[in-house]
Chains A and B, each alone.
Chain A
Amino acid sequence: MPEIVNDKKVFTLLEVTKSIQKTLAERYKSVYWVKAEMNKLNYYSHSGHCYPELVEKANGKVIAQIKSILWKNDYINVNNNFLNVLKEPLKNGIKILFLAKISFDPSYGLSLRIIDIDPSYTLGDLEKEKRETIKRLKSEGIFNRNKLLQIPLLPKRIAIISVETSKGYADFLKVLETNSWNYKFFHFLFPSLLQGDRATVSIKNQLKRIKKVRGHFDVVAIIRGGGGDIGLSCYNNYELAREIALFPIPVITGIGHVTNETVVEMISFSNAITPTKIAEYLLQKFHNFSVPVQKAEEKIRDKSRRLLSDEKTKFGSEIKLFRSVTENILIGNRNQIKENINSLVQQTTFRFKNEKEYLRAGREEIKRGTLKICAAEKLEINGFALTMKKDVISQIIQSKTALNNMEKNIENMSPQSVLKRGYSITMSNGKAIKSTKNLKEGDALETIVYEGRIFSLVKSSKKTIE
């Protein structure tokens, strides 16, 4: 009951709130289906109760909001329904259609007590989000962007977005590293949550980190495995899908088997579905490289061997041909030479015979000629001899006559002849005197006359006057 203080009717807070509680309880007797956006679930794990924040927005602005309560047991039921129908737990940021009772409690105030949530309404909303994400990516022209990238011939450097302890990650590495072809991959883990609301931000952050070192990687692999098909609606998130669509290197997804392919899987370079399949996909790329290399090796070996053996055969037959051709030519030449020899022999024999004949005729002719000349010469010599004989005789007679004359002359000129004619020779000292010179009185003189010698002395001498 209110008390009167200073003429004023004063209520306690409890009285007022109880009055409100009473009024509201009378006014809102039934339960109502309400649609709203559940901004936050506000799940308290120790109590198991939830205190969802409900809002209604118009043009991005909050136009209504109210607190709500979802008691532990109701939460468990609702969450199970969600997991069955949506493959998603009850989570922040979804639109819900819920059955609620308006409740007012003096100590907690006004709130909606959520009794049930219809999962099919939220499902539709999630489908709508997915459709809108697809539509937006398509209208921006980036839906196929990642698919259009060129994956390197050998995608050997892999940036892995996964959980280190997950089965999917282990499976992936096992297939990759125990391959029997000894293909070597380089991989680097960028740990991230892979399901639920927070996965969106977590994956985006790791993508950002990979982008920083993208020069070191050929491909990004998003690997999830081991968990159920729960909490995968994050892969329909526009922001995440956009990040992946625009990612500069190919992104391959191995998120797991889901009933409906998520947007991220649709727009990724390749959706291998399971981690093992990603590994096999990468190994296949290596095969696609390795097999042609192997084949090239074989082909080059075979073809070059064949080429060489063909050339050898060709060369061999060329040699054979060459030999037979040269042999033929040699035989031909040899025969020719033989013929030439024969003909030469014949010709020379003939020629010699001719020459011999000619020489013989020459000899005969010379012989005859010589004899003839000899005879003529003989005749001539004989003539000469005769003439010479005659000449010599007349010469001798002539000479004899001349000699006789000379003898007469000489005889006439001899001192005896001279002396006989009366001449004498006077000598002094053995020498004939020709002048008076050198003669003095008393010198002894000897005078030779025809018959004897006269000895005298010089009385005087007188020089003859001319």
Chain B
Amino acid sequence: MSDIPTYTEAFDELQSIVSEIELGEISVDELSEKVKRAALLIKLCKQKLTSTEEDVDRIMGELDTPTTENDAQQNGS
């Protein structure tokens, strides 16, 4: 898993930490590390809920470019 997970990865990883901790599979030694990681994931997930990164200008720009062959084929199929 990369350093910056996608929110799906973050969500899944968070769920797995929760189930680990619920099943008592986490020792006190790992606890600090896991809680730190979970806090990061939670922050990431919450950020995803309350922010968007799309850029209207970019979409407009892409809409204006001529259709590529690949798109034409997909449209025609």
A positions within 8 Å CB-CB of B: 152-154, 156-157, 181-186, 188, 208-209, 211-213, 216, 246, 248, 286, 289-290, 292-293, 295-297, 299-300, 303-304, 307-308, 311
Contact = CB atoms under 8 A, between A and B. Distances in A.
A248 B67 CA distance: 17
Contacts of B3: none
Contacts of A295: 18
A154 B48 contact: yes
Contacts of B50: 182-184
B21 A299 contact: yes
Contact of B49 (A183, A211, A216, A308): A183
Nearest to B75: A208
B58 to A, nearest CB: 8
A353 B50 CA distance: 96
A293 B8 CA distance: 12
B51 interface: yes
Interface residues of B, number: 36
Contacts of A153: 7-8, 11
B35 A304 contact: yes
A300 B18 contact: yes
A66 B7 CA distance: 63
A255 B31 CA distance: 51
Given A292-B11, A300-B17, A300-B35, A212 B62 contact: yes
Contacts of A183: 49-50
Contacts of B46: 290, 293
19 contacts: A154-B48, A156-B48, A157-B54, A186-B54, A188-B54, A212-B63, A292-B14, A293-B49, A296-B15, A296-B18, A297-B38, A299-B18, A299-B21, A299-B22, A300-B17, A300-B35, A303-B21, A307-B26, A307-B28
A295 B62 CA distance: 40
Interface in B2-30: 7-8, 11, 14-15, 17-18, 21-22, 24, 26, 28
Contacts of A152: 8
Given A156-B52, A185-B52, A297-B42, A303 B22 contact: yes
B1 interface: no
A213 B15 CA distance: 32
B59 A213 contact: yes
A464 B68 CA distance: 173
Interface in B45-77: 45-46, 48-54, 56, 58-59, 62-63, 65, 67, 71, 74-75, 77
A308 B28 contact: yes
